[in-house]
C-alpha cells in the first residue's frame, strides 16, 4: 500500500496546476510514496514535471530590479559565469522526494546561497591559492577565538550575495539528472555490508541546474577586483555545490553574457545620469524662478536685456545683421523705461549696461554713410546714457 503524502482535497489542485512553484512541488507536491519499483516510476514522473517548469516573468522582472540596485561600480562587482557541467545545490533539502534543490521561495528559480559561495571561495583562497591567513581574514572574516587577534570574531570586508539564475541562459533552469548508486547496501547499512563491484547499480533520479548565474560582490573598490578574481578561479577550478568530485558544479567564463550584462548596466547608468541631469535642471529652473519672483520690475528689465544681449552676441555675423534692428528696438525701449526709474543705483546699472551694449555693437548704425550722421547718432546715444545717471526731471 502506498503512503499518502498529501490530503485528498489538495491533490487535484497540485495535479491541475500549470504554472506551479518548483520549490513548492519539491517539498509538498509528491503525492504518495510506495516501496519497490513503483517508487522510482512515481518519483521520475514527478521530477519530470518539476523540470518542465520554465522561469517566470516574475523572476525576470526581479532580476532586472537587482541589476538596477547594484549599478554602483564603487560598491558592487557583477560577473556572469556559465555552468560547464550541471549543478547540484541544496541536494539535501527537506521533503519526501529525497532530493532537493535551492529554489528561491518567491521567484521559483534556482539560486546559489551567498554563504555557499563565500565558503567555497574562502576555502579555495586559503588552501588552494595559499593566500596569507591575515588577508583572508580581512576579506572573508574569521571566527571568534581566544587571543588578542579576534576575540569577538571578524566580519569580512567582502559581502557575497546569493547568485541569481540568468534569464534565458538555458531553455529551463532545472534539468533531470541520474546519480547511480553502486554500493547501496554499503551506504544504506552504514558500512556493515562490504562495498564490492558485484553490487547491482541503482539509478537514483535527481534534480540538477543548468544555465548561467549572476554573482554579486560588495565591498571596498580596491578589494573587489581581487575578490572577483578569486571567485572566478574558484568556480572554474574547484566548483561549488555537491558532488564536485564527480564533475558537477564547475563553471566557465562567458564573454558574450558578460558583455551583454556590461551593456545593460551602462544603459541603466546612462539613464540614471540623464534622470539626475533632468532633476538638477528642474531644480535650477525652480531656483531661478524663485529668484526672479523676488526681483523688482526694474531688476527684471535689467536681466531681460542682459539675456537679449547674450543671445545677440552669440549669433554669427549674418544673423546679427538680420536681427540688429529688432535688438536695437528693444534697447531703445529699455532706455526709455529706465529714464523713469526713481532709484539711482538701478539707473546707474542701466547706464552701464547700455554703454556696454553700444561699445560692443557700435555707437552708430552701419548704414550711416556720412560722418556727420554717425557723429550725431553717437552723440545722441552718449547723451541718453549720461542722462540716466542724473535724477529724473521731477526731482531736479
Residues 118 and 221 in one domain: yes
- 246 belongs to a structural domain: yes
> Of 220, 238, 253, which marks where a domain is finished?
253
Tell me the per-residue pLDDT of 253-272, one tens digit each, with 9 for 90 and over: 999 999 999 998 999 889 98
> Of 218, 253, 288, which marks where a domain is finished?
253
Residues 240 and 357 in one domain: no
Domain that holds residue 245: 3-253
- 202 belongs to a structural domain: yes
- 73 belongs to a structural domain: yes
Q: Phi and psi for 144 in degrees, rounded to 5?
A: -65, 140
- Please give the Cα distance from 48 to 97 (Å, whole number): 13
Q: What is the DSSP letter of 157?
A: S
Residues 228 and 372 in one domain: no
Residue 183: is it exposed, middle or buried by C-beta count within 10 angstroms (0-12/13-18/19+)?
A: middle
Residues 246 and 320 in one domain: no
Confidence of residue 184 (pLDDT cuts 50, 70, 90): low
pLDDT at 52 over 80: yes
Residues 9 and 98 in one domain: yes
- 351 belongs to a structural domain: yes
- 276 belongs to a structural domain: no
Residues 249 and 360 in one domain: no
Tell me the per-residue pLDDT of 139-172, one tens digit each, with 9 for 90 and over: 998 887 766 677 677 888 999 999 999 999 999 9
Q: What angle do CA 56, 59, 65 make, to 5 degrees?
A: 145
C-alpha 395: how far from its chain's center? 68
pLDDT value of residue 147: 63
Residues 307 and 234 in one domain: no
Residues 98 and 206 in one domain: yes
Of the ranges 187-191, 281-285, 362-366, which is most confident?
281-285
pLDDT value of residue 220: 93
pLDDT value of residue 6: 65
Residue 252 cell numbers, joined: 566557465
Q: How many domains does the chain have?
A: 2
- 261 belongs to a structural domain: no
C-alpha 8: how far from its chain's center? 46
pLDDT at 87 over 60: yes
Residues 318 and 248 in one domain: no
Average pLDDT estimate for 18-27: 75
Residues 91 and 155 in one domain: yes
Residues 36 and 182 in one domain: yes
> Of 253, 276, 308, which marks where a domain is finished?
253
- Please give the Cα distance from 49 to 22 (Å, whole number): 9
- Please give the Cα distance from 131 to 135 (Å, whole number): 7
- 270 belongs to a structural domain: no
pTM tops 0.75 = no
- Please give the Cα distance from 228 to 160 (Å, whole number): 10
Q: Where are the beta strands (DSSP E) in 103-221?
A: 111-112, 141-142, 154-155, 159-160, 163-165, 174-181, 202-209, 212-218
Residues 47 and 191 in one domain: yes
- 289 belongs to a structural domain: no
Amino acid at each position: 500500500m502506498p503512503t499518502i503524502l498529501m490530503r485528498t482535497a489538495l491533490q487535484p489542485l497540485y495535479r491541475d496546476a500549470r504554472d506551479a512553484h518548483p520549490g513548492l512541488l519539491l517539498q509538498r507536491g509528491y503525492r504518495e510514496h510506495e516501496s519497490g519499483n513503483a517508487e522510482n516510476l512515481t518519483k521520475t514522473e514527478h521530477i519530470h514535471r518539476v523540470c518542465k517548469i520554465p522561469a517566470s516573468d516574475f523572476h525576470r522582472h526581479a532580476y532586472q530590479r537587482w541589476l538596477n540596485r547594484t549599478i554602483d561600480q564603487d560598491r558592487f562587482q557583477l560577473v556572469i559565469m556559465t555552468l560547464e557541467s550541471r549543478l547540484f545545490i541544496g541536494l539535501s533539502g527537506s521533503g519526501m522526494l529525497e532530493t532537493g534543490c535551492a529554489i528561491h521561495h518567491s521567484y521559483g528559480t534556482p539560486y546559489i546561497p551567498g554563504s555557499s559561495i563565500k565558503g567555497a571561495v574562502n576555502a579555495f583562497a586559503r588552501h588552494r591559492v595559499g593566500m596569507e591567513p591575515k588577508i583572508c581574514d580581512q576579506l572573508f572574516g574569521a571566527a571568534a577565538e581566544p587571543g588578542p587577534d579576534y576575540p569577538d570574531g571578524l566580519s569580512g570586508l567582502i559581502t557575497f550575495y546569493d547568485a541569481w539564475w540568468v534569464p534565458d541562459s538555458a531553455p529551463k533552469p532545472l534539468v533531470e539528472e541520474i546519480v547511480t548508486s553502486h554500493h547501496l547496501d554499503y551506504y544504506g547499512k552504514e558500512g556493515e555490508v562490504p562495498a564490492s563491484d558485484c553490487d547491482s547499480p541503482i539509478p537514483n533520479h535527481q534534480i540538477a541546474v543548468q544555465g548561467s548565474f549572476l554573482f554579486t560582490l560588495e565591498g571596498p573598490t580596491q578589494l573587489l577586483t581581487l575578490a572577483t578574481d578569486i571567485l572566478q578561479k574558484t568556480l572554474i577550478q574547484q566548483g561549488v555545490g555537491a558532488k564536485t568530485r564527480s564533475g558537477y558544479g564547475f563553471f566557465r567564463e562567458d564573454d558574450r553574457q558578460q558583455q551583454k550584462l556590461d551593456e545593460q548596466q551602462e544603459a541603466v547608468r546612462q539613464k540614471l545620469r540623464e534622470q539626475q541631469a533632468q532633476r538638477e535642471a528642474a531644480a535650477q529652473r525652480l531656483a531661478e524662478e524663485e529668484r526672479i519672483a523676488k526681483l523688482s520690475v526694474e531688476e527684471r528689465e535689467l536681466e531681460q536685456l542682459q539675456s537679449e544681449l547674450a543671445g545677440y552676441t552669440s549669433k554669427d555675423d549674418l544673423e546679427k545683421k538680420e536681427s540688429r534692428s529688432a535688438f536695437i528696438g528693444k534697447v531703445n525701449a529699455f532706455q526709455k523705461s529706465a529714464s523713469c526709474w526713481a532709484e539711482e543705483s538701478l539707473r546707474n546699472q542701466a547706464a552701464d549696461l547700455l554703454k556696454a551694449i553700444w561699445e560692443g555693437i557700435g555707437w552708430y548704425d552701419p548704414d550711416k554713410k556720412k560722418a556727420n550722421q554717425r557723429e550725431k547718432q553717437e552723440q545722441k546715444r552718449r547723451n541718453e546714457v549720461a542722462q540716466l545717471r542724473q535724477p529724473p526731471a521731477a526731482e531736479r
